[in-house]
Amino acid sequence: MFEDHHTHLVTENLCLGYYNKEGRLSLLQKDINESLVEGELVCLIGPNGSGKSTLIRTIAGLQKPVGGKVFIGSREIGQLTNTEKSKHLSIVLTGNAVMGNITVSEIVALGRYNYTNWIGTLEKEDRGKISGSLKKVGLREFENRRFDTLSDGEKQRVFIAKGLASDAPVMLLDEPTSHLDIPNKAGILSLLRNLAHRSTRAVLVATHELDLALKLADAIWFLLPDKSIFKSTPEELIFSGKLNEVFGNELVSFHGNSGTFSVNTEYIGSVSLKGEGKFMEITARALDRIGIKVNLHSSDDPVKVCIDNDHWIIDWKGKKSESFFLVETCRILRKAVNK
């Protein structure tokens, strides 16, 4: 028999929004009925202004819902004390403020403050949790480093370690990969997935990294413009057509077959291209990027390009020229097709 997975958190008809100065309600999302289950990474996506950060803050109890409830176990989150909430939930928000002269271990130790005695003394168990959390995020040797000497990616790992040290079964993160380079973005989301899969934690991440979310998440919560939420696996979302409905426009398209976004090219002209091998593929891709349509082995185009080993022969108005660099070839052809 398969074991049932434990549900850590449930939303019941949850509605998100805010009141303006005149007291009128601006509704962001309505009737959210979702749950966070142990051992899963859930990525929360949606267009700007759809309520991703508001949902994270509302689930965390930092912001009151305009309707509905959030339950941890059998208790509504509003009934929990701050100490009780911090033992059930850890949260990493965008732009965590940290004082300059503080060490990595001192920051992670803040995750243990609800377990220490009245004067905040760290016991052996607490120190073990701190070291263990740093080890899980790959920063064990950084324990005594000053926080302000770390890279942005390392700083995010420290905040994740702080959440781990709290032993909270639910981890909530709002844009943890913002301002990071591509390897660190992938590294942080991979780390969060591994932490969920290797424990009984449920991890919810609000992110703009759609490509990474589709590759790494166990489930997607997609906040839609009609104020509803679409929950699915990444594969179901890819083939649903909803990504193109929400994000697609004259500039950008989402392709269900490849599961990727592409920029729609506005062509300024065309050329005939002859050649083979990798230089052929590279050239065709470069020309498409700069808005030149490629016609393979055509004789109708006034501008013709022939790839000969590692250089390009350009025939334009009966005159031939050679180029030994692709960037130079692109410059020549951009001018040629605009004539």
Q: Is residue 247 part of a domain?
A: no
Do 85 and 215 lie in one domain? The reply is yes
239-267 average pLDDT score: 84
330-337 average pLDDT score: 90
Q: Is residue 195 part of a domain?
A: yes
Per-residue pLDDT, 120? 61
Indicate if the pLDDT at residue 256 is higher than 80: no
Rounded to an integer, what distance in angstroms lies between the CA atom of residue 207 and that of residue 50? 12
Q: Is residue 240 part of a domain?
A: no
Domain boundary among 232, 255, 289: 232
Do 29 and 118 lie in one domain? The reply is yes
pLDDT band at 2 (very low <50, low <70, confident <90, very high): very low
Do 142 and 22 lie in one domain? The reply is yes
Q: Is residue 261 part of a domain?
A: no
The CATH number linked to 176 is 3.40.50.300
pLDDT band at 1 (very low <50, low <70, confident <90, very high): very low
Burial of 20 (0-12, 13-18, 19+ CB in 10 A): exposed
Do 38 and 177 lie in one domain? The reply is yes
**Total number of domains constituting the chain:** 2
Give the three-state DSSP class for 34. coil
Do 153 and 279 lie in one domain? The reply is no
Residues 109, 136 contacting (CB under 8 angstroms): no
Q: Is residue 118 part of a domain?
A: yes
238-245 average pLDDT score: 90
Provide the domain limits for residue 333: 269-338
Per-residue pLDDT, 118? 44
Q: Is residue 2 part of a domain?
A: no
Domain boundary among 186, 212, 232: 232
Do 315 and 185 lie in one domain? The reply is no
Do 219 and 301 lie in one domain? The reply is no
Domain boundary among 176, 211, 232: 232
Indicate if the pLDDT at residue 259 is higher than 90: no
Per-residue pLDDT, 34? 95
Pick from 139, 113, 107, 144: which is nearest to 126 by CA? Answer: 113
Pick from 202, 224, 244: which is nearest to 9 by CA? Answer: 202
Indicate if the pLDDT at residue 24 is higher than 50: yes
Do 176 and 225 lie in one domain? The reply is yes
Do 42 and 117 lie in one domain? The reply is yes
Per-residue pLDDT, 145? 93
